[in-house]
Amino acid sequence: MKELSFIHRFEPALTPDLPPLLLLHGTGGDENDLISLGKMISPGAALLSPRGKVLENGMPRFFRRLAEGVFDEADVKARANELADFIAEAREAYGLQAPVGVGFSNGANIAAALLMLRPEALAGAVLLRAMVPLSEPPKADLAGKGVLMLSGSMDPIIPAENSERLAEFLSESGASVKHTVLPVGHGLSQQDLSLTQNWFLNR
């Protein structure tokens, strides 16, 4: 494994023409968490899975929060830029095209922040249980980027209007957004898997 700026796991592509996936874990996860999900949703794609550098009570995250649902926005910006730099490093080291971000919870929020702050870093994104990461996001040009957002109607952490606001912002920035609200909570379900598989097949 090459020495890059994030601890990470890399699985080379088995099917060369598929876009690589950038797998971004939720709070308490690590670089191994979403590998099996990545293999299921886009079989044969290269997988790049970094570990978040922030520790909250010993649990890895991609940025700091002040309370549940209240983010340290200065840290969000710094960490999104740091992650975008890692993606550029990894693309050079492994010979990759721009990846599609696949993030769950905290990982989905940093992926959304990447789209807002460093849109060139991602070719598109799957945001599983995402919230608005920045209260006043900068204008971003997301033309040509597809985004799948899957939210839970019974999610105790994310208010419905928050995820709707994120979908609206991404759409207004030019992304092709498909936002589906599932009858589930914060955890992932079989529906998340099948909808994400279909999205990759049809993108």
User: Which residues carry out catalysis?
Assistant: 105, 155, 186
Do residues 176 and 203 make contact, with C-beta atoms less than 8 angstroms apart? no
| Lookup: tokens for 27 | 């709070």
Alpha-helical regions (H) of the chain: 35-41, 73-94, 106-117, 160-172, 190-202
Do residues 42 and 73 make contact, with C-beta atoms less than 8 angstroms apart? no
CA distances from 51 to 31, 43, 83, 121 (A): 5, 22, 10, 17
Do residues 102 and 126 make contact, with C-beta atoms less than 8 angstroms apart? yes
Do residues 170 and 142 make contact, with C-beta atoms less than 8 angstroms apart? yes
State how far the Cα of 182 lies from the Cα of 23, in Å rounded to an integer: 21
